[in-house]
Amino acid sequence: MPDTPNKIAVFIDFDNIEIGVRSTLGQSFDVGVVLEALKERGDVVSKTAYSDWKRAAGDYSRALTQHAIKMVQRNLTPGGDKNGADINLALDALEMAFTHGHINTYVIVGGDSDFISLLEKLKQYDKKVFVVGGRQFTSVIMQKNCHEFIAYENLVGGQARKAAAKGRPAAPIEQVVPLVRRALKLLSEREVSPQLGLLKSTLLQLDSTFSERSYGAGTFLDFAEKLASAGVITIQRSGHNLLVDLAKGERAAARGAVADEAEPDAESTAEEPRQPSGDPERFADGVREVQRLLHAAPTAPRFPMYLRNVKQFLRSIDPAFDERRYGFSGLVELLRACQKAGLLRLDRGRQGVLRVFQGPSLGLGQAPQPADDAAPAIVEAEMVVVDRPVDDAGDVEVVDVPAHVDADQPEPVPADTQAPTEKPKRRRRRSPGAGKKTAGGKPKASTRRSAKARDTASGAS
């Protein structure tokens, strides 16, 4: 998704969330903590709650009024209206999606699975959808299909917050390691710098139910530091950003899952590249194939290249090229083998993105550049268009001039003492009004003077 500020509209199914919180947590619903959590994710521009406010307790109405929440009255019919609030909420949300284009994020506070159709429709309209509810009473379908699920227990100090206060995480940090591996693998495939904020958004993309509070961390930075303390990741500062990568030991332990595709860290380019496990002969064949394709290319590659450029370049020469045929699990593993053979060199740019350079053993070389003081032995003529009009139509004359001669300067003409110098004839320019008649039918003055001059000349002859 584009990194644009979130303009948030909040829709609260009050009866659903209030009953769920009271029945599962034994607490009163606190709308304030929900709004505070949403303010961390963007600008809340609309807040609407749906309920039968005549039956709701007065404290709730007062709390919602203090937070400037619009309360929509849901009138009960004699036959009952179980889904009355759901229908009103869905209609208002869809109307806002059509009439308020600047609102790009919709928050549904409630756990009813009936909202799944609204959720999917808003996603089709390119809107972000957050769901706020309890893990125990919110539909699993809603939790898994929104962009982010915000557990109410984590906001009000449930078991996870209490355990974190005692120094014991609610869930072992090892449980989230596979998800972190997948997120870093995805960032590596996208060839983007694995910044701390990008890591969290990627974790939410893979699992919308993820929350650092579930692991006893108050902020995502605390969560990352817990992973670093456990030897799972490394955190490095690059300017004003924090870059995250899998630790070397973790990459070695997770070789078959993520490490083959993950980018090397800042120190990995200085150390000896790792040799992949498998058949050495097949690996050597893959390295030789890369060398053959680079030399067989009709146009030499322009280094440095990014990972996607390397894959595109190799497949432009051989569309059937696939590194997995030689036992490599990914392109990065193949390039590391090429680096060990001296064909290529891997290095990170200033933004932390992996780039590929030419190695000392590739042998492509560079085109020799002529010395500045060396005169060319042969001067070849090239076609130059000189701005030299030859007629009134504005045509130009095409002449051949040497490459070292300035086309704007006239060509030197050798002096001929024997031939008489003939003065070039000057072409008389006709007046723009020549030959035209005035409104009275008489020719213009310039035309009459030309006729008089012709009569005088004929009389003299």
358-408 confidence digits (pLDDT tens): 988 887 765 333 343 333 333 333 333 334 444 444 444 444 444 444 444
* pLDDT reading at 316 higher than 80: yes
Q: Supply the DSSP symbol for 385.
A: E
What total number of domains does the chain contain? 3
Q: Is 7 left (phi over 0), alpha (psi -120 to 50) or beta?
A: beta
CA angle, 53 then 57 then 59, to 5°:
110
User: Rounded CA gap, 345 and 342, in Å?
Assistant: 7
Residues 289, 342, single domain; the answer is: yes
Would you call 293 exposed, middle or buried from its count of C-beta atoms within 10 A (0-12, 13-18, 19+)?
middle
Q: What are 318-372's pLDDT values in tens digits?
A: 888 888 888 887 788 888 889 988 889 888 766 566 788 998 888 776 533 334 3
Task: Please state the pTM of the whole predicted model.
Answer: 0.50
Looking at the domain assignment, is residue 384 inside a domain?
no
Contacts of 306 (CB under 8 A, 6+ apart): 191, 353, 354, 355, 356
What crossing angle do the helices spanning 196-206 and 177-190 adopt, rounded to 10°?
110
Looking at the domain assignment, is residue 92 inside a domain?
yes
Which of 103, 129, 156 terminates a domain? The answer is: 156
Q: Taking residues 201-213, what's their average pLDDT?
A: 85
Residue 304: give the domain boundaries: 280-358
Residues 96, 190, single domain; the answer is: no
Average pLDDT, whole number, for the chain? 74
What are the CA-CA distances from residue 162 to residues 133, 134, 142, 236, 334 (Å)? 19, 17, 26, 31, 48
Q: Taking residues 127-143, what's their average pLDDT?
A: 91
Q: What are 216-227's pLDDT values in tens digits?
A: 888 888 899 888
The pLDDT value given to residue 417: 45
Residues 145, 182, single domain; the answer is: no
Which of 230, 259, 288 terminates a domain? The answer is: 259
User: Rounded CA gap, 31 and 44, in Å?
Assistant: 13
The pLDDT value given to residue 237: 83
Q: Decide if 275 contacts 299 (C-beta within 8 A).
A: no
Q: What are 245-270's pLDDT values in tens digits?
A: 888 766 655 554 433 443 444 334 33
Residues 41, 109, single domain; the answer is: yes
Q: Taking residues 35-46, what's their average pLDDT?
A: 90
Looking at the domain assignment, is residue 348 inside a domain?
yes
User: Rounded CA gap, 257 and 186, in Å?
Assistant: 12
* pLDDT reading at 144 higher than 50: yes
Looking at the domain assignment, is residue 365 inside a domain?
no
CATH number of 228's domain:
1.10.10.10
Listed as own residue / partner, the contacts of 56-60 with beta carbons closer than 8 Å and 24 or more positions apart are 56/14, 56/18, 59/28, 60/14, 60/18, 60/29
Quick one: which H or E segment has residue 11? strand 7-13
Q: How confident is the model at residue 84 (pLDDT cuts 50, 70, 90)?
A: low
Would you call 212 exposed, middle or buried from its count of C-beta atoms within 10 A (0-12, 13-18, 19+)?
buried
Looking at the domain assignment, is residue 120 inside a domain?
yes
User: Rounded CA gap, 330 and 323, in Å?
Assistant: 7
Residues 204, 141, single domain; the answer is: no
What are the CA-CA distances from residue 333 to residues 247, 253, 330, 337 (Å)? 17, 16, 5, 6
Q: Which residues pair with 357 in a beta bridge?
A: 345
Residues 30, 58, single domain; the answer is: yes
CATH number of 308's domain:
3.30.420.610
C-alpha closest to that of 340 among 264, 266, 247: 264
* Least-confidence region, from 67-81, 103-117, 200-214, 281-295: 67-81
User: Rounded CA gap, 15 and 114, in Å?
Assistant: 14
Residues 63, 134, single domain; the answer is: yes
Looking at the domain assignment, is residue 22 inside a domain?
yes
Residues 179, 89, single domain; the answer is: no
Share of the chain above pLDDT 70, in %: 64
Residues 42, 129, single domain; the answer is: yes
Looking at the domain assignment, is residue 96 inside a domain?
yes
Residues 320, 232, single domain; the answer is: no
The pLDDT value given to residue 242: 85
Residues 19, 66, single domain; the answer is: yes
Q: How confident is the model at residue 455 (pLDDT cuts 50, 70, 90)?
A: low
Residues 214, 252, single domain; the answer is: yes
User: Rounded CA gap, 7 and 14, in Å?
Assistant: 22
Contacts of 376 (CB under 8 A, 6+ apart): 370, 404
Share of the chain above pLDDT 90, in %: 18
Which of 320, 342, 358 terminates a domain? The answer is: 358
Looking at the domain assignment, is residue 452 inside a domain?
no
